[in-house]
Amino acid sequence: MGLLSLGTPLAWDDAKHYADHVRTHGITQFLNIWDRTKDRCGDELLWGDEIEYFVVSFDNEGKNARLSLRQTEILAKLTAITNDMASDRGESDSVPTFHPEYGRFMLESTPGSPYTGSLSDILSIEDDMRHRRRLARKYLKPDEIPYTLTSFPRLGVPGVFTDPYFDPSDAKSSHSLFLPEEITNPHARFPTLTANIRRRRGSKVSINLPLYIDSRTPRPFVDPTIPWQRNIYSEDPEAKRGAALVDHIYMDAMGFGMGCCCLQVTFQSCNVTEARRLYDALVPVAPLMLALTAASPLWRGYIADVDCRWDVISGCVDDRTEEERGLKPLKENRFRIPKSRYSSVSLYISDHWEHRQEYNDVEAPYDQAIYDRLQKHGIDSILARHISHLFIRDPIVIFSETIDQDDMNSNDHFENIQSTNWQTVRFKPPPVNSTIGWRVEFRSMEVQMTDFENAAFSIFVVLLSRAILAFNLNLYLPISKVDENMARAQKRNALHSQRFFFRKNVFPPGGPSRPESRCSSCSSSGASSPATSPVDGTPRKERKLRNCWPDVPRPPNGAPAKPVEDEYEELSLQDIMFGKCDAFPGLFSLVYTYLDSLEIEEEERVKLERYLELVKRRTDGTLKTAATWIREFVRSHPAYRSDSVVSQEINYDLLVAADEIERGVRQAPDFLPQGI
Ligand code: ADP
Ligand code: MG
Ligand code: MG
Ligand code: MG
């Protein structure tokens, strides 16, 4: 979540008149940033995670686990504590930061400063995450606990699921039948975002997740708990038109998706070119990591037949009008838009020769005037497409006080559109007036129950990102296949039941490249330490994960022109990760080969292996994903009636168990290695 501006938010009818203003100035701001930073080079690898939590308040007598709505007090307390810690130490870098999130029951934490590529930093991430959780735990009430579970199982059930209880009948921003107004962060930005998405769309959002049909689930399943009459806004046309599908779990508000917790990792790149390459390479990785981290099988008191949050969030912020969704001919709106603004990436952005335009095979409308303006300013057509595609969206929240901005010194209008394009990977230009460089944010992963797991998946992704750059891996797939992988990744037990499109040959022409050489496009002043020994010129190993990798030159006879369809195949995730015969060594093997190129102490290797081992054991199935573990916990609970219902009692016991696992007082050997 970006900066929270303070001010008076405009309702949609007023805000929409400023949409072009925000877009025009947003592009001016981007171009100003571009002019200042396009040649910036040599930034070292800096990276950091974002972890989201929900806070649960336990009613131990009534055996109910409810969402605590004390975010404002909790954040005020944590901010005061961390400020004190920072002033005691005389520096703020080592003191974590806590941020508000959409749900009034949520928190987000980030490290006090980003990690570098040093092994010691990488190996400190679990401690850093644990430190943040300890802080959060310490300053909560005795009956409150912060959780890193992706979805709260009973969000939106009839009865008491928040502390304090609020009646959903007057949910004025969302018009939800299930979630009270008070579920949302009270900062003006969030209720306005909720209401303006609904107003722009012309109806409530509507999400139907397939129900997990168990042996005693009533069929056809027509949800008896939907309180059609309860809401004073029940004239809502969408609801009247049968928004809730049979055999599905129906959800009707932004809070169902934006109330989920995830794990994100951001990397700083050497320069804009490397950021664009890394972005593209991570696009096909996003669905794979989603399947591996799947953690959210329970929704609104039911077991779903999916394991992930992605489609819920995508649907819950879908502000497209009926015209834009293709349900009516275009009249008021300018574009048919195939995807929600929360969705998988639709366009690759690198100008590398390996990026074939055929890979961009899904419809990705763009604003022609913005595209022309960007091109006229010297931005290449590929990046101009990306930005002008993001800018087909309207700004949803506009504060009256910040309509006029100094475009040299602000990026607010740019960020207004950029940061409400919630895609699997985000390309982040340097902020104005800061030392931060070009960054790429990896956004698909579900948050894991323990910091050990969150550290493991973060470390795996950072190592994979270096292997990709060091070996010049080419992971390009047509975007339509990446989208298909996203759909498959969310299915129940996708890790073991699905196959995923993957590139047959990931190496550059001439085979794997060596990771020793150095980027020639940067002046050595900015780049990290030299690749060759200054004494004898021999390649020198480094103990640091780094940026600034050399590019693969285009082969003299041009790029190979195989039909795109011959470039990929369908593989199991096990084959993708562990390799497939001799043809493809697998992502783990590439990560290990990369590690071999570093001069790592044995002790560090052992420590790293502990994290990689978790990811391997999740992949090979000797450990369950969180989604599978949670689903099985519910289904084997003595109070479960095989009817797909997650009762208050089951939810309570599940949350107690998840907390015990997190604290290490309960072993779950089928889920986590023992002795963690
Ligand atoms: P957002 O919510 O906008 O995605 P946050 O500020 O919550 O972003 O988190 C950004 C993450 O990026 C944090 O983990 C932070 O440590 C990390 N980070 C900060 N500066 C840099 C940098 N220069 N390069 C890479 N990562 C950075
Ligand atoms: Mg967040
Ligand atoms: Mg954040
Ligand atoms: Mg983020």
**DSSP label at residue 450:** S
For a ligand 1 pocket test, name from 99, 189, 266, 269 the mutation site with the most ligand atoms within 8 angstroms of its C-beta: 266
Given a cut of 70, whether residue 575 has pLDDT beyond it is: yes
Report whether residue 96 contacts ligand 1, using a CB cutoff of 6 Å. no
Supply the pLDDT for residue 584.
Answer: 87
pLDDT classification of 560: cutoffs 50, 70, 90: low
Residue having the nearest C-alpha atom to atom 21 of ligand 1: 114
Supply the pLDDT for residue 553.
Answer: 84
Mean pLDDT of the chain: 93
Q: Report which bound ligand comes closest to the CA of 442.
A: 4
Question: With pLDDT > 70 as the criterion, what percentage of the chain qualifies?
Answer: 92
pLDDT in tens, 355-374: 999 999 999 999 999 999 99
Query: Could you give the CA distance from residue 295 to residue 447 in angstroms, rounded to a whole number?
Result: 7
Report whether residue 266 contacts ligand 1, using a CB cutoff of 6 Å. yes
Report whether residue 411 contacts ligand 1, using a CB cutoff of 6 Å. no
Given a cut of 70, whether residue 212 has pLDDT beyond it is: yes
In the reported structure, the alpha carbon of residue 416 is separated from the centroid of ligand 3 by a whole-number distance in angstroms of: 15
Helical segments of 176-269, H only: 189-201, 237-240, 254-258
Report whether residue 28 contacts ligand 1, using a CB cutoff of 6 Å. no
Ligand 1: nearest atom to the Cα of 419: 3
In the reported structure, the alpha carbon of residue 232 is separated from the centroid of ligand 1 by a whole-number distance in angstroms of: 41
pLDDT classification of 251: cutoffs 50, 70, 90: very high
Place of tokens 């989920």: 260
pLDDT classification of 233: cutoffs 50, 70, 90: low
Domains of the chain: 24-221+251-451 (3.30.590.50)
Given a cut of 60, whether residue 539 has pLDDT beyond it is: no
In the reported structure, the alpha carbon of residue 267 is separated from the centroid of ligand 1 by a whole-number distance in angstroms of: 8
Counting every residue written for the chain, the total comes to 676
In the reported structure, the alpha carbon of residue 450 is separated from the centroid of ligand 2 by a whole-number distance in angstroms of: 18
Supply the pLDDT for residue 509.
Answer: 85
- Determine if residue 177 is left, alpha or beta; phi over 0 gives left, psi from -120 to 50 gives alpha, anything else beta: alpha
Residues 465-487: what's their mean pLDDT?
97
What is the pTM for the complete model shown?
A: 0.96
Supply the pLDDT for residue 515.
Answer: 60
Q: Report which bound ligand comes closest to the CA of 418.
A: 1
Check if the beta carbon of residue 110 is closer than 8 Å to that of residue 265. Answer: no
Ligand 1: nearest atom to the Cα of 43: 23
pLDDT in tens, 294-339: 999 999 999 999 999 999 999 999 999 999 999 999 999 999 999 9
Q: Report which bound ligand comes closest to the CA of 132.
A: 1
For a ligand 1 pocket test, name from 50, 125, 270, 420 the mutation site with the most ligand atoms within 8 angstroms of its C-beta: 50
As a whole number of Å, the CA-based R_g of the chain is 24
Supply the pLDDT for residue 583.
Answer: 76
Supply the pLDDT for residue 555.
Answer: 85
CA torsion sign for 441, 444, 449, 454 is: negative
pLDDT classification of 84: cutoffs 50, 70, 90: confident
**Chain centroid to CA 28: how far?**
27
Contacts made by residues 80-88, CB under 8 angstroms, sequence distance 24+:
81/135, 81/139, 82/135, 86/112
Residues 502-506: what's their mean pLDDT?
95
The C-alpha angle with vertex 61 and arms to 56 and 64, in degrees rounded to 5, equals 35
Question: With pLDDT > 90 as the criterion, what percentage of the chain qualifies?
Answer: 85
Supply the pLDDT for residue 538.
Answer: 46
Query: Could you give the CA distance from residue 144 to residue 66 in angstroms, rounded to a whole number?
Result: 9
Given a cut of 90, whether residue 75 has pLDDT beyond it is: yes
62-71, 131-140, 225-234, 420-429: the lowest-pLDDT one: 225-234
| Among 349, 343, 381, 346, CA closest to 281 | 349
Could you count the other beta carbons within 10 Å of the beta carbon of residue 13?
10
> Any residues with CB less than 8 A from the CB of 373 and at least 6 apart, and which?
27
Residue having the nearest C-alpha atom to atom 9 of ligand 1: 50
In the reported structure, the alpha carbon of residue 654 is separated from the centroid of ligand 1 by a whole-number distance in angstroms of: 32
Given a cut of 80, whether residue 231 has pLDDT beyond it is: no
Supply the pLDDT for residue 243.
Answer: 85
Query: Could you give the CA distance from residue 420 to residue 417 in angstroms, rounded to a whole number?
Result: 5
In the reported structure, the alpha carbon of residue 52 is separated from the centroid of ligand 3 by a whole-number distance in angstroms of: 9
In the reported structure, the alpha carbon of residue 443 is separated from the centroid of ligand 1 by a whole-number distance in angstroms of: 12
Query: Could you give the CA distance from residue 417 to residue 26 in angstroms, rounded to a whole number?
Result: 8
Supply the pLDDT for residue 590.
Answer: 96
